[in-house]
């Protein structure tokens, strides 16, 4: 019997597989040495704890003794949590997409003993079906090819590795002048609208992801141009998600994506980062429109985060599983008879409002959704309904909690709390943001001052353990959250920390030839290539957020090199942004700020919480905002600004300021005229 090598791992995903008859190794020197010593190919299987199809393949294949025996005999088998090691996931996902034209999880990739990929795919069934070969037949054929066609395998592996390393994109010359045209922004808008679903919201067809970056671009485009179609599509997308099954109508919070075009049937896993990004977007939509429905969902979703994804120490857990009792969505769905027993004579009104029928709207059961939001139900009645259903649902076996804490995802959540505070003025959200950052600084900093870790796992009763050096997106999101914390607190020290972290990133992650950033630290030595990630996918790319950070901090500290670097990075990708804005949504919003005026705003004089809150509720995009409660010689926007006396706003450009105004309405009028 082999040693259980996953039993002491911190990843809930790896722990799920610890009991498998497969001789799983974690990624590391031991597995690589074994492959080289025995001249065996490595099989890496990448997934995450909330992944439905990962669970399916585990039940069908990895728990099957016969299948496991084949795997153990022919391969060195390695389990990887994609959320703990996104760097490895990026590398080997690129390989599978080059091989198969698509990707996903579980991600199963075959490597040479040197770690180079030569074949892979996603889910494989236990028997041949739908043009998919069975997992057993794949294992046998790959092993045979590795030993009988070694030269061809090595050539394929080298070609794939070179492809991954050289996946290129254009980059602007260091001498290229700033040249951003409003026509380019219009082109991005027109390209987005070509893919927009103007009936059910969102972009493209099923499966549908929230694409919050595209929605945020549309909100900004409306702010700058007044184009009604942009606002309509942004709000339609948010409304359809809010009323659909992707939103948990009883408990709050969003599932990862919808399997259909109407947002009815999600894959039911709830990820921290999705909810953070949706809260950010809903907050900006509420600031722009004042629609109270957006505020309601912000509050409900943040309640869900606090109730189900927050640790006692102030950190935020990664995810809730899609499955419970071995069935996807079982925790969330309802039968008509069940609703009748819970609500009695109120059940018919509830069922009519939430689309509950005897036949069900999904696999014989009902996913709650609102088909006709114009059929008004009083808030009090809705609250009572939800309270009763939630009490029953909480008695069901719960989906698994992935209780690792990831620094980058936590930083996104901190930014979400900052945005929610700005939009609603509820001080508990400001406090939650500050507490979240205190948790990260206390528990996820490394030996030296500016070194953070990527992952943290609590050990109940005995503190916790941080592991894996932070990646580019961890640092980029942390810097962004420091910037947002400064805006909602007025504490300039947050900007100092943002600058110090940015210096760290430039030193350890820069690709000097292009000005972009590698995903991994220059001291990391267990990856076959260092990749540059520029696409904005499920989460923003570290490069797009770092470019936004550098432009903001370049203004704050008057560092021309940082502003120029940001502009060059956008310029190098501009053709791709214009052609594929859905894949470069954060870049597109930065391009907005570089094309239209990037506002420099100071609230000077004696601190005024009232004016501070009133300003934050405006939701002005692409601006630097500071308060001059103290004099700081290293912050040029605050020079020569009063720190006492009447509170007043300065609107500046390139550090040249207009005459101050005392009211937020006057400031907004100046902004709209500029």
Mean pLDDT, the chain, as a whole number?
93
pLDDT at site 123: 94
pLDDT digit string, tens, across residues 578-624: 999 999 999 999 999 999 989 999 999 988 999 999 999 998 999 99
pLDDT at site 169: 57
What length does the chain have?
674
Alpha-carbon distances of 231 from 239, 275, 444, 619, 673, rounded to whole Å? 12, 21, 39, 15, 21
pLDDT score of 101 more than 90: no
Q: How far is it, in rounded angstroms, from Cα 95 to Cα 109?
A: 8
What residues are paired with 80 via a beta bridge? 46
Residue 634, token pair as written in the block: 């290293």
Alpha-carbon distances of 374 from 240, 242, 332, 377, rounded to whole Å? 13, 14, 24, 9
pLDDT at site 647: 93
Dihedral over alpha carbons 160, 161, 164, 165 (to 10 degrees):
-150
Q: Which of 668, 540, 592, 600 is nearest to 218 (CA)?
A: 592
pLDDT digit string, tens, across residues 54-74: 999 999 999 999 999 999 999
Residue 461, classified by CB atoms within 10 Å of its CB into exposed (0-12), middle (13-18) or buried (19+), is: exposed
Q: How far is it, in rounded angstroms, from Cα 639 to Cα 650?
A: 12
Residue 462's pLDDT band (boundaries 50, 70, 90)? Answer: very low
Q: Are strands 656-657 and 648-653 parallel, antiparallel or unpaired?
A: antiparallel
Q: Which of 304, 299, 302, 298 is nearest to 320 (CA)?
A: 304
Q: How far is it, in rounded angstroms, from Cα 434 to Cα 490?
A: 12
pLDDT digit string, tens, across residues 14-29: 999 999 999 999 999 9
Determine if the peptide bond prior to 55 is cis (ω within 30°). no
Q: Which of 115, 117, 118, 120 is nearest to 105 (CA)?
A: 120
Q: Residue 151's CB: how many other CB atoms inside 10 A?
A: 7
Q: State the Cα angle at 439 between 437 and 440, rounded to 5°.
A: 65
How many CA atoms are closer than 13 Å to the CA of 249, on its beta-carbon side? 28
Show the domains of the chain with their CATH numbers. 12-165 (3.40.30.10), 196-324+401-595 (1.50.10.10), 332-393 (no CATH), 599-673 (3.40.30)
Q: Are strands 24-26 and 76-81 parallel, antiparallel or unpaired?
A: parallel
Residue 225's pLDDT band (boundaries 50, 70, 90)? Answer: very high
Which residues have CB under 8 Å from 346's CB, separation 6+? Answer: 381, 385
Helix, strand, coil in percent for the chain, rounding step 5 = 50, 15, 35
Q: How far is it, in rounded angstroms, from Cα 516 to Cα 546?
A: 9
pLDDT at site 431: 97
Residue 261, classified by CB atoms within 10 Å of its CB into exposed (0-12), middle (13-18) or buried (19+), is: middle
Q: How far is it, in rounded angstroms, from Cα 385 to Cα 363?
A: 24
Alpha-carbon distances of 653 from 596, 624, 637, 671, rounded to whole Å? 12, 10, 10, 11
The percent of residues in the chain predicted with pLDDT above 70, rounded, is 96
Q: Could you please report the per-residue DSSP string of 496-550?
A: HHHHHHHHHHHHHHB-TTTS-B-SS-TT--SSSS--------SS--HHHHHHHHH
627 vs 450: which has the higher pLDDT: 627
Give me the helix-helix angle, 182-195 and 228-243, nearest 10°.
Answer: 40
pLDDT at site 416: 98
Burial profile 606-644: b = 16 or more Cβ within 10 angstroms, e = fewer: eebeebbbbbbebbbbbbbbbbbbeebeebebbeebeee
pLDDT digit string, tens, across residues 142-181: 999 999 999 999 999 999 998 888 765 555 454 555 578 9
Which residues have CB under 8 Å from 316's CB, separation 6+? Answer: 272, 305, 309, 310, 405, 409, 410, 413, 436
Give me the helix-helix angle, 560-579 and 585-595, nearest 10°.
Answer: 120
pLDDT digit string, tens, across residues 288-343: 999 999 999 999 999 999 999 999 989 999 999 998 888 999 999 999 999 999 99
pLDDT at site 461: 44
Q: How far is it, in rounded angstroms, from Cα 189 to Cα 230?
A: 8
Residue 345, token pair as written in the block: 């004579």
pLDDT score of 249 more than 50: yes
The percent of residues in the chain predicted with pLDDT above 90, rounded, is 82
Which residues have CB under 8 Å from 211's CB, separation 6+? Answer: 202, 203, 237, 582, 585
231 vs 172: which has the higher pLDDT: 231
Q: Residue 395's CB: how many other CB atoms inside 10 A?
A: 7
Residue 458's pLDDT band (boundaries 50, 70, 90)? Answer: confident
Q: How far is it, in rounded angstroms, from Cα 133 to Cα 119?
A: 14
Which residues have CB under 8 Å from 318's CB, separation 6+? Answer: 49, 50, 83, 271, 272, 402, 403, 404, 405, 406, 409
pLDDT score of 451 more than 90: no
User: In the structure, how many helices (H) and strands (E) does the chain have?
Assistant: 24, 19
- φ, ψ for residue 208, nearest 5 deg: -110, 130
Burial profile 499-531: b = 16 or more Cβ within 10 angstroms, e = fewer: bebbebbbebbbeeebbbbbbbbeeeeebbbbb
């Amino acid at each position: 019997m082999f040693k259980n090598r996953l039993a002491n791992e911190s990843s809930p995903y790896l722990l799920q597989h610890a009991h498998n008859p497969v001789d799983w190794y974690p990624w590391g020197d031991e597995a690589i040495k074994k492959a080289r010593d025995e001249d065996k190919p490595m099989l890496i299987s990448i997934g995450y704890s909330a992944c439905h199809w990962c669970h399916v393949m585990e039940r069908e294949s990895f728990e099957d003794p016969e299948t496991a025996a084949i795997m153990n005999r022919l391969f060195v088998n390695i389990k990887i949590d994609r959320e703990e090691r996104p760097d490895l996931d990026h590398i080997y996902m690129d390989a599978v997409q080059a091989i198969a034209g698509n990707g996903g999880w579980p991600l199963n990739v075959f490597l040479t003993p040197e770690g180079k990929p030569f074949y892979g795919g996603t889910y494989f069934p236990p028997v041949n079906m739908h043009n998919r070969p069975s997992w057993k037949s794949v294992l046998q054929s790959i092993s045979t090819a590795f030993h009988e066609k070694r030269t061809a395998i090595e050539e394929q592996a080298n070609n794939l590795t070179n492809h991954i390393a050289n996946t290129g994109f254009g980059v602007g010359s260091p001498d290229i002048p700033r040249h951003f045209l409003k026509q380019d922004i219009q082109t991005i808008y027109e390209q987005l609208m070509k893919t927009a679903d103007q009936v059910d919201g969102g972009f493209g067809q099923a499966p549908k992801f929230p694409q919050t970056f595209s929605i945020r671009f549309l909100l900004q485009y409306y702010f700058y141009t007044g184009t009604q179609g942009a606002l309509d599509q942004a709000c339609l997308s948010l409304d359809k998600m809010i009323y659909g099954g992707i939103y948990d109508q009883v408990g709050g919070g969003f599932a990862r994506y919808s399997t259909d075009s109407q947002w009815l049937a999600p894959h039911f896993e709830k990820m921290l980062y999705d909810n953070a990004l949706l809260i950010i977007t809903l907050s900006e939509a509420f600031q722009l429109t004042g629609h109270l429905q957006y505020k309601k969902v912000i509050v409900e979703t943040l309640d869900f985060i606090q109730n189900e994804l927050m640790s006692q120490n102030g950190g935020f857990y990664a995810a809730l599983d899609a499955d419970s009792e071995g069935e996807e969505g079982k925790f969330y769905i309802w039968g008509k008879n069940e609703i009748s027993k819970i609500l009695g004579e109120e059940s018919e009104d509830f069922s009519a409002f939430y689309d509950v029928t005897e036949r069900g709207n999904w696999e014989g059961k009902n996913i709650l959704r609102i088909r006709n939001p114009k059929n008004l139900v009083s808030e009090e009645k809705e609250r009572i309904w939800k309270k009763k259903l939630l009490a029953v649902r909480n008695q069901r076996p719960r989906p698994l909690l992935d209780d690792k804490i990831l620094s980058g995802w936590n930083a996104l959540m901190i930014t979400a709390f900052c945005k929610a505070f700005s939009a609603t003025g509820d001080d508990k959200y400001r406090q939650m943001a500050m507490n979240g950052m205190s948790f990260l600084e206390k528990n996820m900093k490394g030996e030296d001052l500016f070194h953070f870790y990527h992952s943290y796992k609590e050990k109940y009763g005995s503190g916790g353990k941080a592991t894996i050096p932070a990646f580019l997106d961890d640092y980029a999101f942390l810097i962004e959250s420091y910037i947002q914390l400064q805006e909602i607190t007025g504490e300039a020290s947050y900007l100092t920390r943002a600058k110090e972290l940015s210096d760290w990133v430039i030193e350890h992650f820069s690709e000097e030839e292009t000005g972009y950033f590698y995903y991994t630290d220059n001291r990391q030595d267990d990856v076959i290539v260092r990749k540059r990630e520029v696409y904005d996918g499920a989460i923003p790319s570290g490069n797009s957020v770092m470019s936004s950070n550098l432009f903001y901090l370049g203004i704050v500290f008057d560092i021309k090199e940082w502003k120029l670097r940001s502009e060059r990075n956008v310029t190098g990708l501009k053709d791709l942004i214009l052609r594929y804005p859905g894949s470069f949504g954060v870049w597109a919003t930065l391009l907005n700020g570089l094309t239209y005026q990037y506002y420099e705003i100071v609230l000077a004089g004696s601190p005024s919480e009232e004016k501070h809150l009133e300003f934050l509720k405006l939701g002005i995009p692409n601006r630097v905002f500071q308060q001059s409660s103290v004099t700081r010689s290293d912050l040029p926007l605050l020079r020569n600004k009063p720190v006492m006396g009447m509170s007043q706003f300065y609107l500046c450009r390139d550090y040249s300021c207009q005459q101050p105004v005392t009211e937020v309405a006057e400031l907004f009028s100046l902004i709209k005229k500029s």
